[in-house]
Structure 1
Amino acid sequence: MTGSAISDRIAQGSGRVVADTVIRNVRLFDLVTGTLLPTDIAICGDAIVGTLDSYEGATVIEGHGRIAVPGFIDTHLHVESSLITPFEFDRCVLPHGVTTAICDPHEMANVLGRPALDYFTEAALRTVMDLRVNLSSCVPSTALETSGATLGAADLLAYRDHPKVIGLAEFMNIPGVLNGDPVCMEKLEAFAGGHIDGHAPLLRGRRLNGYLAAGITTDHEATTAEEALEKVRKGMMVLIREGSVCKDLRALVPLLNPVTSPFFAFCTDDRNPLEIAHEGHLDYLIRLAISLGVEPLAAYRSASLSAANAFGLRDRGLIAPGRRADIVLLDDLRECRVSDVISAGRLVNDALFAAREIIPPVGIDSINLPAPVTARDMEITGSGTQRPVIGLLPGQIITPFLHADLPVRDGIVQPDPAQDIARICVVARHGHNDNIGRGFVKG
């Protein structure tokens, strides 16, 4: 920031000069005390410069007594898993108050490698919201997987200093970390001292200690209050997840209160467009948490200030002078009913989205099958006695390892609807081989 920009902020904040924009007559929800404070909010460029006072502005947004809270921060998601581009994601979730999102383009990187990181970092420079990127740390997730690409430490280091990159995304190869796998060690060393996201479902005790000793600081995989409490006590920031597939909020919110809220944030990981349209995004998580008994102070603090602190985004998370002007205006605090959103000092509207430069997506031709797949390719032969079965738990990503006796017809092991057991297949789509994984799933 130039000296003249700093001077402008000082002059407008101190009232010597008319502010660029003033949001007039709002009730600021104070994330320190949880009280509502009547005020104007003065904005210079993309920064808040005045609160708890009255101001004049070249542009005035009438608050009409609405409640002003800081913009929401989704701390972990995969935009491509919401089945839309970053630009459509921007248009879908920003009106719900999500002014910052931290994405890991892992699903796309697992197919394309560096072109996926190129695409997301370039797209993030053009979205209205502040889309931040954590670099996909495990491509492939483990050596057991056939991925479309491989990302080594040197590949990731090429993006470390990009202005939209925060650090290293979810380190899901837990055995690799704990056993000192050289590939894992090289990546952890390359990003030591920076932000490294965790991914540690069910990890407890000494194994959790070893994992944290690698410099990993966050986790979105806690599914019980006991697991989450151990993790925050050991210094992790627990990201409470409520998405389309994984729904952990009800299990974890008993831990969330004004005392503990600095150690919890929210994430979606991920929500599909229909649920975004019908229920919302982080506004839905806040609304649900409050309906389950969480105090509004704890819910809104976790959705903004705590999230900002966890990821080193010191310029946001509060409506306060010097902070980024990401502001959500609410008609109702407990219901989190969003009526207007200001992103970097700009009122969010259709014209703002229309002014973006849209870059074309990549990977459209990435499905490469060596030969057509037929029904016969899906058949499972052998004995039906005590076949391994993947168990599904509603709303969770954890899968119990089950066994079941299944019927056999003409040498082919059959699914069994009476036991709620279906056949499942995974077809290699990268063109490297013609592998098909075949199995059964219950639930």
Structure 2
Amino acid sequence: MTQYKRNKLVEVSGKLAKVAMGSAYADVVIKNGTLVNVYSGELIAHMDVAVAEGRVAFVGNADHTIGNQTIVIDAAGKYIAPGFLDGHMHVESTMLSVTEFAKAALPKGTTGIFMDPHEIANVFGSEGVKLMHEEGQQLPLKVFTTFPSCVPATTDLEDAGASLEVKDIEEGLQWENVVGLGEVMNFPGVVYGDPKMCGEIEATINSGKAVTGHFPSEDDRMLQAYIASGVTSDHETVTREQGLHKVRMGMHLMIREGSAWHDVKEVIKVVTEDKVNTSNISLVTDDVSPQTLVEKGHLNHVVRRAIEEGVDPVTAIQMVTINVARYFNLEKDLGSITPGKCADILLLDDLQKVEPVTVMTDGNIIFDQGQIVADFPTYVYPSHIRSSMNVKRELTAQDFQLASRGNDERTSVNVIQVIENSARTAKMTATLSVEDGIIQPDIQQDVVRLACIERHRGTGEISLGFTSGFQLKSGAVASTVAHDSHNLIVMGIDEQDMALAANELIKLGGGTIVVENGRVLAQVPLTIAGLMSEKSLLEVVDEVAQLEGAWKQIGCPLNAPFMTFSLIALPVIPEIRISNRGLVDVTQFKLIDVELV
């Protein structure tokens, strides 16, 4: 495995001490900026930062550290801030490889991420996790991994391409820069003593690493049982009241601002109105689209949103620096600009706009004046990772026709109602017509066909249902990005178009597609496990822009419809979902009938 060169503190502490004392010279000195001190919460003017061997050697008047070979950066009129750390995110959601994501995130000020690669884990298990982790270790972006905990997300409601057992987690926790257990989505399993979940948590605690959470329920007894079981954080909070209670119960509150959901506006009130201590709160992205990366940014956008809602800029920066480092027990290396820490440093013109002018990691300038100025290595995934579609036959229109169990001309069905900008769905019912024994969609009611096709093991299993909220008027869409098992999901009005969308996606090797009247309108090939592209950021952005235009062409007005659609098969977030096994009532964790007869 190729490793990006980073010096451990013990390897260079002697040199750092000499630089601080003036008996050796710094490699780089940033001069005369306003330091964002995340420990004291101050903005300190006219400060220098001396860097040697990739770490901070001295903070203050650093003239004594400047030699003939020292690079001096003039920071007059600029703020000097620690690099931002994303405490919870899934790289796969960007549709980019880890390398291409790094090229997008670093210019936005993100110098470290804590990724939970449970998307690829659901397709290729530990092998997929290791490949993404290895790719991340060769980059100037610091890539830490929380080892996926719930693969599959549930054991009795869906089928993924792989499963991870306690022994896999125990092994993964030993890898360098694996810093914890990925989001523990099976919260009922935790509180009711499921041996697998309890074993994973025990292994993580014994390794001295973080157990990250996922708790969307409002059941207080269950929440406290969950915390008592060893889970220490949560990013699924959507209301101020939930956030306040979790902070009071000692959870590390991760406030999420992704592409398809926007939790900052409401949850940040625990800071702006409840005035809680913010040291146990961080800001995270969870899932972001490539479009969001280009148009809004990455963590700098989330920081900006917090500031717009009334959070002090220094406090907001603390929530993406020192708070994150402390939670993952990495404070000795990351999260601040203080002696001994990694020199992951941003220069900012404005603390309101949060647009970096210069980005440095490990003392090396990566981004400066609008340009990436560092080289990034290439990483090639094995061929079998790029051949993940295992559907044995060509699909037909009949595969997408749901037969009524009754003999009436109309019938009632359960429907998955999506909610714009939310990860949640609502359970609703609709009365639909039956023609020749087949239940029909109804555009007037905004109820369209939905299917989930097993794509990992070639079982041929297909489940059918209905969904509402996308406002489709024609055509069909399909995707292999279908959290978390990532089977093939298809939605549409016309069965012929649904079959075409599915078959074309199988030929592509995975991705997402929109078709109408027998013609492909747009497609985004995602050949790495059916989840990520092998193309550059700008190429993917262009493809996604065409895809979003095609979604609109067939009637969908939603913000980030692709991401909302990708969650429709996730049976761990309430209220109702579809899996390859059928319709899932998440509130009861059981399969239910589509038709109410």
Q: Provide the TM-score with structure 2 as the length reference.
A: 0.72
Matches within 5 A, 1:171-320: 171-193=184-206, 194-257=209-272, 259-314=276-331, 315-320=333-338
Aligned residue for 1:358? 379
Kindly state the Cα deviation for residue 52 of structure 1 after the two structures are TM-superposed: 2.1
Does the 8 Å contact 2:34/2:43 carry over to 1?
no
Question: Does the Cα contact within 8 Å between 2:87 and 2:284 map onto a contact in 1?
Answer: yes
- Determine the structure 1 residue equivalent to 2:457: 431
Q: Is the 8 A contact 1:220 1:238 kept in 2?
A: yes
Displacement after TM superposition at 1:4 (Å): 6.3
Aligned positions, number: 443
Distance in structure 2 (CA, Å) of the matches to 1:263 and 1:252: 14
Q: Quick one: percent identity of the two aligned structures?
A: 34
8 Å CA contact retained: 1:128, 1:356: no
Equivalent residue number for residue 102 of structure 1: 114
Residue 410 of structure 1: how far off its partner (Å): 2.1
What is residue 115 of structure 1 aligned with on the other side?
127
Whether the aligned pair in 2 keeps the contact of 1:30 and 1:37 (CA below 8 Å) is: no
Runs of 5+ unmatched residues, structure 1: none
Instruction: Encode CA deviations 1:97-140: one digit per residue, 9 max, x unaligned.
Output: 00010101111010001211220221121011101011110111
What is the rounded CA distance, in whole Å, between the counterparts of 1:67 and 1:280 in structure 2? 19
Is the Cα–Cα contact under 8 Å of residues 13 and 340 in structure 2 kept in the other structure? no
Kept in 1: contact 2:41–2:315 (CA 8 A): no
Deviates more, 1:33-42 or 1:244-253: 33-42
| Whole-angstrom CA distance in 2 between matches of 1:295 and 1:250 | 15
Q: How much does 1:61 deviate?
A: 2.0
Name the counterpart of 2:17: 10
Deviations 1:382-426 (Å, cap 9, x if unpaired)? 165331111212211111111111222222212222222222211
- Deviations, residues 150-206 of structure 1 (Å, cap 9, x unaligned): 110111211212112001100101121122112212212221242111011124311
> Is this contact kept in 2: 1:248–1:395, CA < 8 A?
no
Q: Residue type of the partner of 2:144?
A: R
Deviates more, 1:157-166 or 1:357-366: 357-366
> How far apart in 2 are the matches of 1:321 and 1:234?
33
* Aligned equivalent of 1:65: 77
1:419 is aligned, of 422, 445, 462, to: 445
Q: 2:32 aligns with which of 25, 45, 58?
A: 25
Q: Secondary structure at the match of 1:169?
A: strand
Please say if residues 99 and 378 of structure 2, whose CA atoms lie closer than 8 Å, have aligned partners that are also in contact. Answer: no
SS at match of 1:140: coil
Residues 121-200 of structure 1: pairs in structure 2 closer than 5 A? 121-143=133-155, 144-193=157-206, 194-200=209-215
Contact persistence 1:126–1:357 (CA under 8 A) = no
Residues 353 and 412 (structure 1), Cα distance of their counterparts in 2 relative to 1, 3 Å cut? farther
Which of 331, 337, 344 is 2:362 aligned to? 344
For structure 2, which runs of at least 5 residues remain unmatched after alignment?
A: 1-7, 470-597
The residue type paired with residue 228 of structure 1 is G
What secondary structure is seen at the aligned counterpart in 2 of 1:262? coil
1:277-301 residue CA offsets vs partner (Å, 9 max, x unmatched): 1110111111111112111122111
Q: 2:397 corresponds to which residue?
A: 375
Question: Is contact 1:152-1:183 (8 Å) kept?
Answer: yes
Q: Secondary structure at the match of 2:444?
A: helix
- The SS at the match of 2:268 is helix
Superposition misfits of 4+ residues, deviation over 6 angstroms: none
- CA deviation vs aligned residue, 1:309-359 (integer Å, no higher than 9, x gap): 111111211111111111111011111121110111110047764252534
Distance 1:87 1:184, change over 3 A: same
